[in-house]
Amino acid sequence: MDLFATLDTMGHEEVVFFHHQESGLKAIVAIHNTVLGPALGGLRMWPYKNEQEALTDVLRLSRGMTYKASVSGLNLGGGKSVIIGDPSQKSEEMFRALGRFVQSLGGRYITAEDVNTNVQDMEYIFQETGYVTGVHPVHGGSGDPSPYTAMGVIQGIKACLNKKYRHTDIGKCSYAVQGLGHVGYHVVKHLRDADAKVFVTDMQQQRIDQCVELGAEAVKMDDIYGVNAKVYVPCALGASVNEKTIPQFKFEIVAGAANNQLATDACGDELHQRGILYAPDYAINAGGLMNVSIELQGYDRERANRMVTGIYDIIGNIFALAEREKIPNYRAADRMAEQRIAAIGRVKLPTVNQSYERFFVGRKNGH
The string of DSSP letters for 275-300 reads: T-EE--HHHHTTHHHHHHHGGGT---
Tell me if residue 191 falls in helix, strand or coil: helix
Which residues lie across from 110 on neighbouring strands? 40
First to last CA, the chain: 45
Check if the beta carbon of residue 276 is closer than 8 Å to that of residue 245.
no
Residue 105 DSSP one-character state: T
Which position among 26, 68, 80, 230 bears the catalytic label? 80
Closest CA to 212 of 175, 239, 185, 242: 185
Distances in Å between the Cα of 86 and the Cα atoms of 82, 83, 94, 170, 366 are 12, 9, 12, 37, 34
Is 26 a residue of the active site?
no
Round to whole Å and give the CA distance between 318 and 276: 15
CA distance 25 to 15: 16
**108 in Cβ contact with 39 (< 8 Å):** yes
Concatenating the DSSP letter of every residue in 163-188 gives HHHS---GGGSEEEEE--SHHHHHHH
Beta-strand relationship, 109-110 and 77-84 = unpaired
- Specify burial of residue 168 (Cβ count, 10 A radius: 0-12, 13-18, 19+): middle
- Report which residue type is found at 210: Q
Q: How far apart are CA 9 and CA 1, in angstroms?
A: 12
CA dist 66 and 35 (Å) reads: 9
Contact 34, 108 (CB under 8 A): yes
* Catalytic residue IDs: 80
